[in-house]
Structure 1
Amino acid sequence: MARISAEERAKKKLILDGLVLSIFLEEGWGAVTYDRLAKEFGVSKSSIQNYYPSSIMFATALQGKVLPMVLPLLNFSSEEKFVSSWICAYEDEQHHVFREVVEMLIDNILKDGTSPYSRGGALKLEEMLAKNTDESSAKRAMKTVFGEVIYRKMFS
């Protein structure tokens, strides 16, 4: 079996990242699977695993692309406004990408072998809020919004 060059591997990774993003935006985080990517890309599951050793690593394909889509939906001016804007964005069907981003973060943060990218996304939001409030308010707000999402998922 012939090995591919580093350049060819990088090109394929970019294409796969685009495919992950496309599936994520169109169908949600749950649709991003090894089976789906292998089928769409026309390769074996093990080939996809060479690029994403664990499913948590699919989040790397979203890094830097989805946060700019959801930031405009959040109000960072106070703890209360942040929590309120988060809940409104999460509940609004027009903002399905926001819901998918939040659910992807929670899913990946709770899995064994947590992706530093998912954890980093949540910490970045907390840091942004802390700039307008303070560290304890930002931490409290993050606990509130993530707790609220988990609660809603349990009872919806």
Structure 2
Amino acid sequence: MLKKIDSQPWDNSLKRRTQHYGWQYRYNRLPLNKSRDYLGELPLWLQKLSKCLSEWLPICNQIIVNEYLKGQKIGKHIDHVSNFGSTIITLSLGSPGILVFTKDNHPIEVAVQPCCLAVMTDEARYFWTHELRPVKQRRISITFRQVKADSH
């Protein structure tokens, strides 16, 4: 899987490298616009992977791959509520990491191992923030989402 990911083009516009599939992720929280943000169908290798997650996410049409190198992290956030559906799934690859879920100033740390899935739905999706602590070695995450039909 990592070889396949590494063979794809990377976007270097952030402090970490990313790959966007299906729809461009709008970090500025703007609503999605089909003519600007739609990137096309998911590649076959990601369609196959997303089918394995259909129990939790029946329709997946947006995927982002994030690469975190030693010392990199992602800050506390909730994924864009008006653009994406009620379930967000992240697959961890590479080195382990620590995800921190926080609600009402009460953080819960979760160690995520390679090939671990984090499924955020309902309350965890909408009312808990999540963040990644700085990683010790290269970590890749693949995040699966459904773009809401009314968001574009």
TM-score w.r.t. the length of structure 1 is: 0.26
Q: Which structure has more helix as a fraction of its residues?
A: 1
Q: Which structure has more strand as a fraction of its residues?
A: 2
Which structure ranks higher in relative contact order (CA pairs < 8 Å, sequence separation ≥ 6)? Answer: 2
TM-score w.r.t. the length of structure 2 is: 0.26
